[in-house]
Amino acid sequence: MIPACDELEQLPLAIKSLSKLPFRKVLVVVLNQTANASTTVDINNKSLRKLLLNWPNKQLSSNTHQIQHPTNNLDIVLISHIEDHLHPKEGVGLARDIGMKTLCSFVNQGALISPFIYSTDADARFEQDYLAPLPQKKQTYIHSYLHTPAQAPLIIYEIGLRYYSLGLKSANAPCPFPTIGSTITTHVKLYEKSFGFPNRQAGEDFYLLNKLSKLGPVHYLRRNPVKLVDRPSDRVPFGTGKGRAEIEAAQLKYKLYHPEVFKRLKIWFQALHEVPDSELIEELDAIAPDFPGTEKLKKAIKQPVQGPRWLRRRLECFDLFWTMKWIHHMRDTQFPSLPYQEALRSASFIPEMDGDLQTQQQILFLHERSMLTDQNYVLP
């Protein structure tokens, strides 16, 4: 599925890319805008709807059309939320959830053979193995990604994303995979069990994967990357578009977490794995004084648990969200962030990198590929 807002230029190209892939496919497009959308966004969305409806189509409801792509191997279900606006605080999260739940209903009705549903975006372009068959297991898959062709601000932002994932990996975090909405594939039953994408204006991909990681393995696929087009975007308050714009406005100045944060995080995870309940809180307080999440862990370990589930309980409590909060706490209280060039040079989990930004981008892409992909990430 693809959520589309102000994508008059990019969505037709994404559809063209999908149409070239093998297998017959169903694409759900959720065309959406909020009540406070600009006149330009409104015009572009209506123009996009008109463009898509130029293909043979059948109206299924007041806001839903089934469209036959000219290649005859791609059915498009267009759900339009232009006139009936989405709430400004829901935005892309609700749009993704509408699309994914529509796909769930198709699977449950027997209209789709595969139990896997894909979330991606209008700026994505796909290689031939994107839809290659997956093992019939109830788990989630992450596709690798690459922003290309990309200008310097977006390359720097991507470098920061990989720096974070590789830092988590170096700290033995259980879930170091990237959390990008363009790259998520999951089993329909897991999506339903997770209650889906949260209705958020941004960060919906992160919060979905935080839930899915507790329901089953997350496998980071070693396939050709989903290629993400460099384009300006100001539709959400944080994320790739916002980060790219801020780096550009700052004339390519950008900061990354201090490498020492990830060294301390490794010690924290070691304590979670090894220290008994009776000593855990004191140990954690010594590593990260005054961290608010420690109180959450304190409450969790007071609850009775049987057998080996004690470790899972700790890691479910200290999840992706609280790991991020912990990193922010350490940044704000002990180890201020560094200019990205200095952080890259001093981090032991980053390989030596010479050359221009494009060369560094490729080096980090390949390094993450070798370190993180083709692995299942699962809580014990």
18 contacts: CB under 8 Å, gap ≥ 6: 25, 27, 74, 126
Contact call for residues 155 and 358 (beta carbons, < 8 A)? yes
Question: In this structure, which amino acid lies at residue 251?
Answer: Q
State the pLDDT at residue 236. 59
State the pLDDT at residue 234. 62
DSSP 3-state of 134 = coil
State the pLDDT at residue 80. 97
State the pLDDT at residue 233. 67
User: Domains (ranges, CATH) in the chain?
Assistant: 2-255 (3.90.550.10)
Q: What is the mean pLDDT of each run of 10 residues along the chain (380 residues)?
A: 97 98 98 93 98 98 97 97 86 95 98 97 98 93 96 97 99 98 98 96 94 98 97 68 91 98 99 95 97 93 83 95 98 98 98 96 98 96
DSSP 3-state of 216 = coil
236 φ, ψ (degrees, to nearest 5): -125, 155
Q: Distance (Å, rounded) from C-alpha 93 to C-alpha 195?
A: 12
State the pLDDT at residue 21. 98
Residue 149, preceding bond cis, omega within 30 degrees?
yes
State the pLDDT at residue 197. 98
Q: Distance (Å, rounded) from C-alpha 195 to C-alpha 312?
A: 21
Q: Distance (Å, rounded) from C-alpha 288 to C-alpha 87?
A: 38
State the pLDDT at residue 2. 99
Q: Which of 357, 365, 363, 379 is nearest to 156 (CA)?
A: 357
Q: Distance (Å, rounded) from C-alpha 213 to C-alpha 139?
A: 9
State the pLDDT at residue 85. 87
State the pLDDT at residue 238. 63
